[in-house]
Amino acid sequence: MTRYCIFLTIVILALTSSCTNSTHDKQLTAVSSLMEKRDSLEKVYLANEFDSLNFWRLEAANIEITIKRNYVANTIDNKLSVKMNRFKSMQEIIDAESELGGGEEHEEEEKEMTLGRRIMLLNTQFKKVKMSLANLHSDVENNILDEAKVKSYIQTENTKVKRIENQLTQYLFVKNTELKEYIKLCKDLRVFADSISKKS
């Protein structure tokens, strides 16, 4: 009977250890998966970086000044008027907003953010999430946290990675649609501004 009890104890301990190892492995896999997802999102971002915000900001200001100084017309040019109105309404897209501070990235409506703000938030979030995932991976690997806490932290990090994915999707949309239109408008108006500048 004693041998049977010892054998049963060994079996139970082995099963418990196996379950613990299985849970531990799943936790590590989940965190590693989030790390890979975050890294792949950053690769997409880096492949689509836009680092000419200040150039286009200054270019837009110079175009506007040149046209105001040199454009004189007896009649209203409707095409130019439409183009200028669109140009002015789109200027907020390119605003670099490098002076903005604060870490509260969720205060603004996504659709109202300038491209500069989007870039700043993505840069910040990629760094923050990379650090928090590395710390979580280390804690799980070293069995520092209990199972409930690990589960909670994994859910939190998953939410952060999904938020980055959404922010990146919005950034790419603005960059590949509205920004393209804005740059085309700038180039068209630059040609016009140069032409009237030569005449004056």
Asked whether residue 8 is assigned to any structural domain, the reply reads no
Below-70 pLDDT ranges, the chain: 1-21, 95-112, 200
CB 108 within 8 Å of CB 117: yes
Asked whether residue 13 is assigned to any structural domain, the reply reads no
Measured in residues, the chain has a length of 200
**What 3-state DSSP class applies to 74?**
coil
**What tens digit of pLDDT does each residue of 116-170 get?**
889 999 999 999 999 999 999 999 999 898 889 999 999 999 999 999 999 999 9
Asked whether residue 19 is assigned to any structural domain, the reply reads no
The total domain count for the chain is 1
Structure tokens at 159: 């939410």
Asked whether residue 10 is assigned to any structural domain, the reply reads no
Q: Please give the single-letter amino acid code of residue 156.
A: T
Asked whether residue 3 is assigned to any structural domain, the reply reads no
Domain range enclosing 58: 24-199
DSSP category for residue 176: I
Q: Please give the single-letter amino acid code of residue 48.
A: N
Q: What is the pTM of this model?
A: 0.77
Contacts of 24 (CB under 8 A, 6+ apart): 140, 143
Structure tokens at 168: 């990146």
Asked whether residue 106 is assigned to any structural domain, the reply reads yes
Q: What is the pLDDT of residue 90?
A: 85
